[in-house]
Chains A and B, each alone.
Chain A
Amino acid sequence: MKPKIGIIPGDPSGIGPELIARLLTSEGVAEVADILLIGDRHVFEAGQTVADCSFDVVPVSDTASWTNTDCGFALYEMDTIQPEAVKTAEVTEAGGASVLSTLDQALAFAQDGTIDAIVFAPFNKASMHLAGLGHDDELHYIAEKLGVTGYISELNTLDGMWTSRVTSHIALRDVADTISEERVSQAVHLIHNVLRRSGVARPRISVAAINPHAGDGGNFGTEEIDILEPTVRKLAEGQMSVDGPWPSDTVFLKAVAKEIDAVVTMYHDQGQIALKLLGFDRGVTVQGGLPIPVSTPAHGTAFDIAGQGRADVGATRAAFDIACDMVTHWDNET
Chain B
Amino acid sequence: MSRAPIALTCGEPAGVGLEIAEKAWFALKDELPFFLIADPAHLPGSVPHKLLQSPLETVQIMADALPVLPHPFAAPRTPGTAQPENADGVIDVIAHAVDLAMSGEASAVCTLPIHKKALKDGADFPYPGHTEYLADLAGVDNVVMMLASEILRVVPTTIHIPLADVPTALTPGLLEETIRITAIGLETQFGINSPRIAVAGLNPHAGEGSAMGHEDATVIAPVLNKLRAEGFDIAGPLPADTMFHTAARARYDVAVCAYHDQALIPIKTLDFDGGVNVTLGLPFVRTSPDHGTAFDIAGTGKANPSSTIAALRMAARMVQSA
Give residues in A with beta carbon < 8 Å to B.
168-177, 210-213, 215-216, 219-223, 247-250, 252-253, 256, 267-270, 272-274, 276-278, 280
Contact = CB atoms under 8 A, between A and B. Distances in A.
A211 B158 CA distance: 12
Contact of A249 (B161, B215, B265): B265
Contact of B204 (A213, A216, A268): A268
Given A172-B202, A176-B163, A276-B241, A253 B260 contact: no
B260 A172 contact: no
Nearest to B243: A273
B204 A176 contact: no
Interface in B154-205: 159-167, 202-205
A49 to B, nearest CB: 27
Interface in B211-245: 211-215, 240-245
B49 interface: no
B162 A277 contact: no
Contacts of A211: 162-163
B65 interface: no
A172 B163 CA distance: 8
A34 B244 CA distance: 38
A54 B22 CA distance: 64
B261 A248 contact: yes
Contact of A176 (B159, B164, B266): B164
B63 interface: no
Interface residues of B, number: 41
Nearest to B128: A219
A173 B213 contact: yes
A210 B240 CA distance: 17
A181 to B, nearest CB: 17
B123 interface: no
Contacts of B269: 249, 252-253, 256, 273-274, 277-278
Nearest to B245: A280
B241 A272 contact: yes
Contacts of B211: 169
Contacts of B166: 172
A212 B261 contact: yes
Given A249-B261, A253-B269, A280-B247, A220 B160 contact: yes
Contact of B162 (A174, A220, A252, A270): A220
30 contacts: A171-B203, A171-B212, A172-B213, A173-B215, A175-B164, A211-B162, A212-B163, A220-B162, A221-B161, A221-B162, A221-B163, A223-B164, A247-B261, A248-B264, A249-B260, A252-B265, A252-B269, A253-B269, A268-B241, A269-B241, A270-B261, A270-B265, A272-B204, A273-B244, A274-B269, A276-B244, A277-B266, A280-B246, A280-B247, A280-B248
Contacts of A248: 261, 264-265
B262 interface: yes
B268 A253 contact: yes
